[in-house]
Amino acid sequence: MEIYDGLSEVIAETKPDVVSIEKLFFAKNITTAISVSHARGVAMLAAKQAGCGIWEYTPLQIKQTLTGYGRADKKQVQEMVRLHLGLKSVPKPDDAADALAAAITHQLMSR
């Protein structure tokens, strides 16, 4: 409920037209994959119920779009998020930087 309520509140305040979400890719830890997929589903439900379009991007697409290299590491992606947004430091926690990377990817790909 916390994820749904929190996201619903943010969506109501900011009124986005679309929500950009990273597609899942897990090769090893199934427990983490299940937890993340649950949270992802809740996020998609909150967005859909608010009338938002949902766009999904693979990690490869996000890395390629932000850095020009599909195998970029997390630090390279975080630095490009910082540069795109004109921030003094990389967004923290890492999940925030990942979410911003997905949003920037959608913005760049939908031009």
Q: What is the pLDDT of residues 28-71, one digit of tens each?
A: 777 888 888 999 999 999 999 999 999 999 999 999 999 999 99
**pLDDT of amino acid 96:** 94
**pLDDT of amino acid 35:** 86
pTM score of the predicted model: 0.90
pLDDT over 90 (residue 24): no
- Give the whole-angstrom CA distance, residue 28 versus residue 8: 31
In this prediction, residues 91-107 reach a mean pLDDT of 96
pLDDT over 80 (residue 109): yes
Nearest to 46 by CA among 21, 69, 65: 21
Cis peptide before 59 (omega within 30 of 0): no
pLDDT category, 26, cuts 50, 70, 90? low
CA contacts within 13 A on the Cβ side of 48 = 8
Structure tokens at 28: 């090893």
Structure tokens at 106: 């959608």
- Give the whole-angstrom CA distance, residue 28 versus residue 34: 12
The mean pLDDT of the chain is 94
pLDDT over 90 (residue 25): no
Q: Which residues of 61-83 are buried (b: 16+ CB within 10 A; e: fewer)?
A: bbbbbbbeeeebeeeebbbbbbe
